[in-house]
């Protein structure tokens, strides 16, 4: 795409550039921000002003060109300035991937099968047991450690005789069998008595020695077992708003059913999406996939202090290699890009809109996930220029839900599954959120 910008159209950009320079540069005889443009140019040079103007103008002029040409782009453009004549014209080219046309099917022809919605006594008993554990009491015992005990332990670790500080600590509380601490600990500690120690080996997953095999020493300081309250009416009154154990069990069954429905809804979404990805031709632009691959690799290495050697050691400890890792990342990235293209095409075909309440709900949900306030989350996504991505994510979710509503879903027993109960009926009656369309159009 070739774009020509007459210099007279750059006047607002020049004004902003001069205003910014006037705030940064102090000239004798002029108050801050009041120095004339000619004197500012004389100080920094015309070339510096032009560079600032061009850098500021390119994103806006590119977006205007995309809008005027009515093209649907994906990913970031590769922009090259081909001509810049001071006082006359700015010309640049923008090479960018275009969203592919996707022939969407008749959704009523799609059949998927999912697991049946089964509410077993075992599942309810598991919830009751979990509730009893929350109200249990810990009592010290004079015996070796058993699975399920709560212990206080001291840990130390070495790699090739060198102490690993980040894997050493005293007075750690741990539930045996929970797998919450270092790998191999739960197996090693069973049968050990108070004041006894035991060595075992474990592969470290973080820190300076990530991927290295360490010799870990665990010393048992104390052992406690949990005594559970009886599951009776008295317990129901203690642990809930109910007066009887039967009422509590009925409520737990309702909760289990709710969770099972959420799980079944997730399985339906996944299977519908997989079916569409398998049956439709959805080309993934190479440049967009590469950008996604680079981003995922950066995130992986970032967690290892940007040390490629640590990544190689970690992969080796997992029985993998860098080649397998790169292939998995590429496959994941390609599927992610194809999924986004598919859901965006569905959203456009369905006229899917995002209400302000829906966007706010997603922001609050994401903020809770990261343990921050909604205001702080909004500030972070705005700084990262990712508010459009949040909007696009909500829109894609709604688009998929609208498809699921028309797909034929049965469980493995042959019974039809009522998806309207799980997803509701799609509705576009809400007012669209601010930023609808333009910001989402160029999101990946």
DSSP annotation string for 52-68: HHHHHHHHHHHHHHHHH
DSSP annotation string for 316-332: HHTT--HHHHHHHHHHH
Question: What backbone phi and psi angles, to 5 degrees, belong to 59?
Answer: -60, -40
Closest CA to 349 of 280, 247, 287: 280
**Which of the 8 DSSP states describes residue 168?**
-
In three-state secondary structure terms, 172 is strand
Q: According to the model, what pLDDT value does residue 192 have?
A: 96
- Domain residue spans in the chain? 2-98, 138-227
Q: According to the model, what pLDDT value does residue 147 have?
A: 94
Closest CA to 74 of 277, 362, 348: 348
**CA 444/CA 436 separation, integer angstroms:** 15
Q: According to the model, what pLDDT value does residue 424 have?
A: 54
Convert 147-171 to b/e letters by CB count within 10 Å (16 or more is b): eebbbbbebbbbeeeeebeebeeee
DSSP annotation string for 212-245: -EEEEEEEEEEEEEEEPPPSSHHHHHHHSS-SSH
Q: CB burial class (10 A; 0-12, 13-18, 19+) of residue 121?
A: exposed
Asked whether 19 and 52 are in contact (CB, 8 A), the reply is no
Sole residue written with tokens 């809400």: 430
Tens digit of pLDDT at every position of the chain (444 positions)? 888 888 888 888 888 887 877 777 777 777 776 777 778 777 778 778 788 888 888 888 888 888 888 888 888 888 888 888 777 788 889 888 888 899 999 999 999 999 999 999 999 999 999 999 999 999 999 999 999 999 999 999 999 989 998 888 999 999 999 988 889 999 999 999 999 999 999 988 877 888 889 999 999 999 999 999 999 999 999 999 999 999 999 999 999 999 999 999 999 999 999 999 999 999 999 989 998 899 888 888 887 777 888 888 888 878 888 899 999 999 999 999 999 999 999 999 999 999 999 999 999 999 999 999 999 999 998 888 888 889 999 999 999 999 998 999 999 999 999 887 776 544 433 433 433 333 333 344
> What's the CATH fold of domain 138-227?
Chitinase A; domain 3 (3.10.50)
Note the pTM of the prediction, 2 decimals. Answer: 0.69
Q: Write out the CATH class of domain 2-98.
A: alpha beta
Closest CA to 72 of 296, 385, 349: 349
Q: According to the model, what pLDDT value does residue 84 have?
A: 80
Q: According to the model, what pLDDT value does residue 316 have?
A: 83
**CA 410/CA 43 separation, integer angstroms:** 75
Integer angstrom CA distances of residue 377 from 208, 276, 323, 434, 438: 31, 33, 36, 17, 22
**CA 72/CA 78 separation, integer angstroms:** 15
Asked whether 343 and 399 are in contact (CB, 8 A), the reply is yes
Can you give the length of the chain in residues?
444
Per DSSP, helices labelled H in 280-371 are: 286-302, 308-317, 322-350, 356-370
Beta bridge partners of 175: 150
């Amino acid at each position: 795409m070739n774009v020509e910008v007459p210099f007279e159209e750059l006047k607002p950009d020049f004004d902003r550039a001069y205003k910014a320079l006037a705030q940064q540069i102090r000239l004798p005889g002029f108050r801050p921000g009041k120095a004339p443009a000619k004197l500012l140019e004389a100080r920094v040079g015309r070339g510096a002003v032009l560079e600032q103007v061009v850098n500021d103008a390119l994103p806006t002029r590119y977006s205007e060109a995309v809008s005027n040409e009515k093209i649907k782009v994906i990913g970031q453009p590769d922009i090259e300035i081909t001509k810049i004549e001071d006082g006359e014209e700015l010309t640049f080219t923008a090479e960018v991937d275009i969203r592919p046309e996707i022939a969407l099917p008749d959704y009523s022809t799609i059949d998927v099968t999912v697991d049946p919605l089964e509410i077993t006594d075992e599942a309810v008993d598991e919830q009751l047991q979990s509730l009893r554990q929350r109200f249990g009491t810990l009592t010290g015992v004079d015996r070796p450690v058993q699975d399920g005990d709560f212990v206080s332990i001291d840990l130390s670790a070495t790699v090739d005789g060198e102490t690993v500080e980040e894997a050493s600590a005293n007075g750690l509380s741990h539930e045996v069998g929970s797998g919450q601490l270092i790998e191999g600990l739960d197996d090693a500690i069973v049968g050990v008595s108070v004041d006894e120690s035991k060595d075992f080996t474990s592969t470290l997953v973080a820190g300076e020695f990530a991927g290295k095999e360490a010799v870990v020493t665990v010393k048992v300081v104390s052992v406690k077992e949990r005594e559970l309250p009886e599951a009776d009416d008295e317990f129901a009154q203690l642990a809930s708003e109910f007066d009887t154990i039967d009422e509590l069990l009925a409520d737990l069954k309702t909760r289990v059913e709710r969770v099972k429905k959420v799980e079944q809804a997730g399985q339906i979404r996944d299977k519908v999406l997989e079916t569409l990805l398998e049956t439709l031709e959805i080309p993934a632009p190479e440049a967009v996939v590469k950008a996604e691959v680079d981003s995922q690799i950066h995130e992986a290495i970032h967690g290892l202090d940007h040390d490629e050697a640590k990544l190689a050691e970690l992969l080796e400890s997992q029985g993998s290699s860098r080649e397998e890792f790169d292939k998995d990342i590429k496959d994941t990235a390609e599927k992610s890009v194809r999924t986004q293209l598919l859901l965006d095409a569905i959203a456009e075909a369905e006229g899917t809109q995002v209400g302000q309440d829906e966007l706010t709900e997603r922001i609050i949900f994401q903020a809770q996930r990261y343990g921050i306030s909604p205001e702080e989350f909004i500030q972070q996504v705005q700084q990262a220029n990712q508010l459009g991505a949040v909007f696009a994510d909500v829109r894609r979710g709604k688009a998929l839900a609208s498809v699921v509503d028309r797909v034929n879903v049965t469980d493995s027993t042959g019974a039809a599954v009522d998806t309207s109960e799980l997803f509701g009926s799609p509705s576009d009656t809400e007012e669209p959120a601010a930023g609808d369309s333009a910001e989402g159009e160029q999101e990946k």
